[in-house]
Amino acid sequence: MKTVLSGIQPSGNLTLGNYIGAIKNFVKLQDEHNCYFMVVDLHAITVPQEPSSLRDRSESVAALYVAAGIDPSRANIFLQSHVPQHAELGWIMTTMVNMGELERMTQFKDKSEGKDSVGAGLFVYPALMAADILLYNANLVPVGDDQKQHLEITRDLASRFNHRFGSYFNMPEPFIPEVGARIMSLDDASKKMSKSNPVEGSYIAMLDKPDQIRKKISRATTDSGAEVVYDPSAKPEVSNLMSIYSECAGVSLQEVQARFEGKMYGAFKKELGEVVVAALEPLQNRYYEIRQTGEIHDILAKGAEQAQKTAAQILDGVKDKMGFLARK
């Protein structure tokens, strides 16, 4: 089986976009792949975090993985910080990446724009992300469009290592599903739905209450006109809402369009609210059960133990090829 590696930061509230674009696909991938799904808490601290919030959100993201259908008996679920090899290989990758490569990273430019001071961790973030992927010799990495650049630098570093020290790392490939890969903001369909957006009405959080979901969808921006037609270029706002309906109801976009032919936006948005509530309610119930029982701690311990076996073996091979003296 091919190996899949992906992770989500425990910062902000996971959104419907995270669920549709990432976690739902994690669930599908676990059936036919060797999967490692992390909570990337080391990446989260590239910007200041309040300790109790970081701790709670790390557990929350892991619990949402399980609540959404990731099976701990078929996939490794763990915290990045529980596997120390991530930090060690991250440093090794930092020594192999060039300043110019890091300066060209779009995310660094975006996140540092307008700031007087930027932490070095944010600058070298791609080296740690490369280490995350290479530590399991991953074949496939589920990524959004905004992460493609990070995967490219990972491939460059893998190739650079192989050239210098002999063939060792796989060349990871992006896994981008055709549908649902990019759910856009409710107030501006030109922007991705983001948990870091300060405008709460721009996103639906996975743990939003039903009335919050209905209210946010009722206030979602729509295009001029009133027809429920899928046309991302001419009608980006309603097309985004139709994508959400399609993913949450499990029907095609053609079926959504046919279902609301001749109906106005109001009727569509009202039913969309109920569809999203119905999709998230069972997940939410399972989430609160997991948090209450505390079972997530056993899941994370088991996942870290399994992940560390692979990570330690890969890292030992890296250090041997580079000439580090082995510990006796």
Residues labelled as active-site residues: 111, 192, 195
Separation of alpha carbons 256 and 230, rounded Å: 9
CA dihedral defined by 173, 178, 182, 183, rounded to 10 degrees?
A: -150
For residue 103, list its beta bridge partners: none
Q: Are strands 34-39 and 75-79 parallel, antiparallel or unpaired?
A: parallel
Q: Is 178 exposed, middle or buried (0-12, 13-18, 19+ CB in 10 A)?
A: exposed
Separation of alpha carbons 313 and 291, rounded Å: 33
Residue closest to 19 by CA, chosen among 213, 188, 150: 213
Separation of alpha carbons 188 and 182, rounded Å: 13
Token pair for residue 250? 């499990």
Separation of alpha carbons 216 and 38, rounded Å: 30
Q: Give the other-Cβ count within 10 Å of 248's Cβ.
A: 21
CA dihedral defined by 31, 35, 41, 47, rounded to 10 degrees?
A: -90
Token pair for residue 13? 């509230």
